[in-house]
Structure 1
Amino acid sequence: MTPDARHQPPRALGYLRVSTEEQASSGAGLAAQRAALEAEAQRRGWDLELVEDAGYSAKNLNRPALTEALTRLDAHRADVLMVTKLDRLSRSVHDFTGLLDRAQRRGWSLVCLDLGVDTTTPAGELQAHVVASMAHYERRLIGQRTKDALAAKKAAGVRLGRPQSLPLEVVRRVVAARDGGATWQSIADALVADGVPTARGGTTWRVSTVQSVYKSQAAADLGGMR
Structure 2
Amino acid sequence: MKNLKKILILAAYCVITGTALTSCLDSDGNYLTTREMTDIEKAKYLTEIAGEYSGMVVHTYLDRNEKAYADTVKNVSWEIYQDKTIEIEDLPDAMFWRYMKSGDDITEATKNSTTKSNLELTIAGMFTQQYTDGTVYSNYFALDGKNKEHKFDIIRNEDGTDISYPVTVKFADSGRYGFSIGALDTSKKNISMQLILSGVKVDNTEQKSDEAIWFIGKKL
Kindly indicate which of the two structures has a greater share of residues assigned to strand.
Answer: 2
**With structure 2 as the length reference, what TM-score do the two structures score?**
0.22
**With structure 1 as the length reference, what TM-score do the two structures score?**
0.22
User: Looking at both structures, which has the greater relative contact order when contacts are Cα pairs under 8 Å and sequence separation is at least 6?
Assistant: 2
Kindly indicate which of the two structures has a greater share of residues assigned to helix.
Answer: 1
**Greater radius of gyration (CA):** 1
